[in-house]
Amino acid sequence: MAYVIAEPCIGTKDTACVDACPVDCIHPKKDEPAHATEELLYIDPVECIDCGACVPVCPVSAIFALDDLPEKWHAFTERNAKYYGR
């Protein structure tokens, strides 16, 4: 897993990161049914190519490189992986 979306995304779900991702690994998108029910967006830990394009476009600074994820949000690592059944 290269990047993790953490707590600041909850309730925001801005999809600028979805648009910036060159490999389409951030979901749920606005047109997916889960977008209405999920609290935040998730990065597929297998599909992500570690390019970092999503980080600067996030308006709430919710995307972190795994090594830079604040300790208080470490649970989001598992949460991102679980979304994709990993």
Question: pLDDT tens digits, residue range 24-73?
Answer: 999 999 999 999 999 999 999 999 999 999 999 999 999 999 999 999 99
Which domain CATH number covers 18? 3.30.70.20
**pLDDT-based confidence at residue 1 (cuts at 50, 70, 90):** confident
> SS3 for 43?
strand
Segments forming the whole domain that contains residue 33: 3-83
Amino acid 68: pLDDT: 96
Domain tally for the chain? 1
ω into 59 cis (within 30 of 0): no
- Give ∠ CA 70-28-42 in degrees, rounded to 5: 20
Instruction: Confirm whether pTM is higher than 0.85.
Output: yes
Name the residue with tokens 């795994």.
66
Amino acid 67: pLDDT: 95
CA–CA dist 8, 61 (Å, integer): 7
